[in-house]
């Protein structure tokens, strides 16, 4: 373990006065564990997160925008649960045996969960992206020293941005239902306002064709937040889902 801040892991610190120190850890973009691997990691961390809660903190391992991430909030009392954090870091370095995820009951949700991974084109990158929100500079130095126990890089250099994967991809769904997810990424440098204008322009004809003319079972306008390159956002993407219509007529 590193003994000085200069030897500690590179940790980004985002001061937030009055907020208890909260550590955010997530894999590099498009390098998240599979659903089965993420569930297994959660089971592995469960007793340690319970110990953190018992010490006055809070911990959660969950999916966010299609990527698994770990949130560790240290006790507001200022106590530093060193043994617990070290045990969590050691667990993150261990392999896990994947657990079968429960089947998704709604086809469109299955597609939404797959979208971030399907868009990526970069090779897998080992490491963790880490940031501390709140807390003092001393808290950040202490957390950075604990993270030096990780066996993979912390905040590794990001590869050059790659374009989003395009085209039409068909995924098998075990329940036999049919759903269609249309994703329209913004061109490089285009503002979010441009996408919102595009969504407002496309919404009426989408609704007319899918809900009125074809009378599919479900049709909605779903806000979507995820990442393409390092950041992307879509707002107002039309999402049809129906058990009785094939994809080509919907397109």
- What DSSP designation does 7 have? G
Q: Round to whole Å and give the CA distance between 56 and 47.
A: 15
- What DSSP designation does 128 have? B
Domain boundaries, the chain: 5-147, 178-250
What pLDDT digit, counting tens, does each position of 130-163 carry? 999 999 999 999 999 999 988 889 998 877 666 6
Q: How many CB atoms lie within 10 A of CB 50?
A: 12
Q: Round to whole Å and give the CA distance between 9 and 153.
A: 8
For the cut 60, the answer to whether the pLDDT of residue 2 exceeds it is: no
Lowest mean pLDDT across 74-78, 204-208, 238-242? 238-242
Backbone angles phi, psi at 136, to 5 degrees: -95, 175
Say if residues 117 and 66 touch (Cβ distance below 8 Å). Answer: yes
* pLDDT confidence bin for 226, thresholds 50/70/90: very low
Q: Round to whole Å and give the CA distance between 137 and 29.
A: 27
Q: Which of 99-113, 129-143, 158-172 has the highest mean pLDDT?
A: 129-143
pTM of full prediction above 0.75: no
Element (H, E) at 82: helix 82-92
What pLDDT digit, counting tens, does each position of 43-60 carry? 999 999 999 999 999 999
Q: Give Rg (Cα) of the chain.
A: 21
For the cut 60, the answer to whether the pLDDT of residue 82 exceeds it is: yes
Residue 245 token pair: 């219509």
**What is the residue-wise DSSP string for 190-214?**
--HHHHHHHHHHHHHHHHIIIIIIS
Q: What is the pLDDT at residue 130?
A: 94
Q: Look at residues 103, 104, 90 and name the one whose alpha carbon lies nearest to residue 44.
A: 90
The CATH architecture one would assign to domain 5-147 is 2-Layer Sandwich (3.30)
Q: What is the pLDDT at residue 143?
A: 94
Determine how β-strand 129-133 pairs with β-strand 12-14. Answer: parallel
Higher-pLDDT residue of 196 and 43 is 43
Q: What is the pLDDT at residue 87?
A: 95
Q: What is the pLDDT at residue 16?
A: 84
Q: Round to whole Å and give the CA distance between 67 and 227.
A: 10
Mean pLDDT of 175-203: 75
* pLDDT confidence bin for 228, thresholds 50/70/90: very low
Q: What is the pLDDT at residue 129?
A: 92
């Amino acid at each position: 373990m590193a003994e000085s801040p200069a030897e500690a892991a590179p940790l980004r610190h985002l001061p937030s006065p009055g907020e208890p120190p909260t550590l955010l850890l997530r894999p590099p973009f498009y390098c998240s564990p599979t659903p089965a691997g993420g569930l297994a990691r959660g089971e592995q961390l469960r007793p340690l997160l319970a110990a953190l809660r018992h010490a006055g903190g809070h911990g959660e391992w969950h999916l966010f925008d299609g990527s698994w991430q770990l949130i560790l909030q240290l006790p507001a009392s200022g106590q530093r649960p060193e043994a617990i954090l070290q045990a969590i870091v050691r667990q993150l370095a261990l392999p896990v045996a994947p657990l079968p995820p429960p089947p998704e009951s709604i086809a469109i949700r299955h597609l939404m969960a797959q979208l971030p991974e399907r868009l990526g084109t970069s090779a897998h990158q080992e490491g963790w992206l880490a940031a501390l929100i709140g807390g003092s500079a001393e808290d950040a130095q202490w957390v950075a020293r604990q993270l030096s126990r990780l066996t993979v890089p912390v905040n590794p250099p990001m590869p050059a941005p790659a374009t989003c994967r395009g085209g039409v991809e068909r995924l098998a769904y075990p329940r036999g239902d049919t759903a269609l997810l249309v994703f329209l990424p913004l061109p490089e440098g285009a503002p979010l306002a441009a996408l919102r204008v595009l969504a407002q322009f496309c919404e009426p004809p989408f609704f007319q064709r899918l809900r009125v003319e074809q009378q599919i079972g479900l049709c909605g306008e779903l806000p979507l937040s995820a990442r393409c390159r390092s950041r992307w956002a879509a707002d107002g993407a039309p999402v049809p889902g129906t058990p009785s219509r094939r994809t080509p007529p919907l397109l």
